[in-house]
Structure 1
């Protein structure tokens, strides 16, 4: 008998974390053991450096993660989807041109894109973050505006931070930063927004999404 996942199971944050962290961990360990992988699997040497081998495996793991998310959770969240598309484009450019710069710039491009979308939406009077998290939180108009502004600025911060790290440190340092620093920083920032969310929470009734003027 086929067992269907409940809505709560499909939205399980642990599952989401697994799907997001899985490819990153593969990227980290593939870069760490890149030389060994190329010796064990000579075909991988065609990619060039350990970082480019890790990039190729990262791309494959990202595709598998997105497919698994669609099968298990019934959907692909917009942020991992956008990030995955950029991984494939910039990863392919890095491998094709034998230039690690493209994959290093990927976080800058993704975070910059999210920042432009969120902050640009506010300029037109729309709190677009509400359309992403409306199923998780019910906030008033002011709450969505403040939260959207903060996340937009946070994405700007992440983009700048990535540029500083990859331009001034080694590839290994950048990989460690990407895997072991970015996620904790994001979690800490997310938790720091809880007081704002609590202040502007409303009863889960009425509109499912913020109105166009938010």
Structure 2
């Protein structure tokens, strides 16, 4: 249920942008993100850091979009988020014993540290590429095409990238399962 709730503001943004314009879509996105945050707090008793970060960036860039009547500000949001992810992941290569990817997924799969570092770098490159790709689409295509790309492309690409890791990582999943069964 929660993943569908998380998509709701972006679906609202897409629907309003496609049926009217990006400025009304931006207003709808800002309002629906605040509703989502309030709903999570009331229903689950928690503040989600990612929701707060996304809402903060959306409110600032959305406010600038509306104030200056310039859609380029809201179009920067995915680039800022993806570049931020890339920088944080890259930093985790050098800070601490484990990369951020290992801290997040280490409970599910057992990989040698060198492999975790390679997977982490792959995600750094992926997020940096998404940041650049968003800039390209934002500046080369219409607001409505960008909105479709933002929801359809930038939502699906991370899932596809994660799925692309499955064949490579499955050999380690099988090894860790076999090791646990023999000891």
Q: Distance in 1 between matches of 2:110 and 2:81?
A: 26
Q: Deviations over 1:30-81 (max 9, x none)?
A: 11222xxxxxxxxxxxxxxx21111011011112223333444554554444
Measured after TM superposition, the shift of residue 145 of structure 1 is: 2.0
Report the counterpart of residue 77 of structure 2 in structure 1. 106
Q: Deviations over 1:66-108 (max 9, x none)?
A: 3333444554554444323211221111112222111011111
Report the counterpart of residue 200 of structure 1 in structure 2. 172
SS of 1:193's partner is helix
Correspondent of 1:85 among 56, 70, 75: 56
Correspondent of 1:95 among 43, 54, 66: 66
Q: Distance in 2 between matches of 1:104 and 1:174?
A: 8
Is contact 1:142-1:200 (8 Å) kept?
no
Structure 2: where are the runs of 5+ without partners? 178-183
Is contact 1:30-1:53 (8 Å) kept?
yes
Provide closer, same or farther for how the CA distance between residues 170 and 182 of structure 1 changes in structure 2, counting only shifts above 3 A. Answer: same
TM-score w.r.t. length of structure 1: 0.71
Report the counterpart of residue 121 of structure 1 in structure 2. 92
Q: Distance in 1 between matches of 2:157 and 2:137?
A: 14
SS of 1:99's partner is coil
Q: Distance in 1 between matches of 2:23 and 2:85?
A: 26
Q: Deviations over 1:7-48 (max 9, x none)?
A: xxxxxxxx23212211111001111222xxxxxxxxxxxxxx
Structure 1: where are the runs of 5+ without partners? 1-14, 35-49, 204-214
Is contact 1:143-1:200 (8 Å) kept?
no
TM-score w.r.t. length of structure 2: 0.82
Report the counterpart of residue 139 of structure 1 in structure 2. 110
SS of 1:181's partner is helix
SS of 1:147's partner is helix
Is contact 1:143-1:196 (8 Å) kept?
no
Query: C-alpha root-mean-square deviation of aligned residues, in Å?
Result: 2.3
Correspondent of 1:159 among 110, 131, 134: 131
The structure with the greater share of residues assigned to helix is 2
SS of 2:99's partner is coil
Is contact 1:19-1:69 (8 Å) kept?
no
Provide closer, same or farther for how the CA distance between residues 81 and 105 of structure 1 changes in structure 2, counting only shifts above 3 A. Answer: same
Is contact 1:112-1:156 (8 Å) kept?
yes
Q: Distance in 1 between matches of 2:49 and 2:166?
A: 22
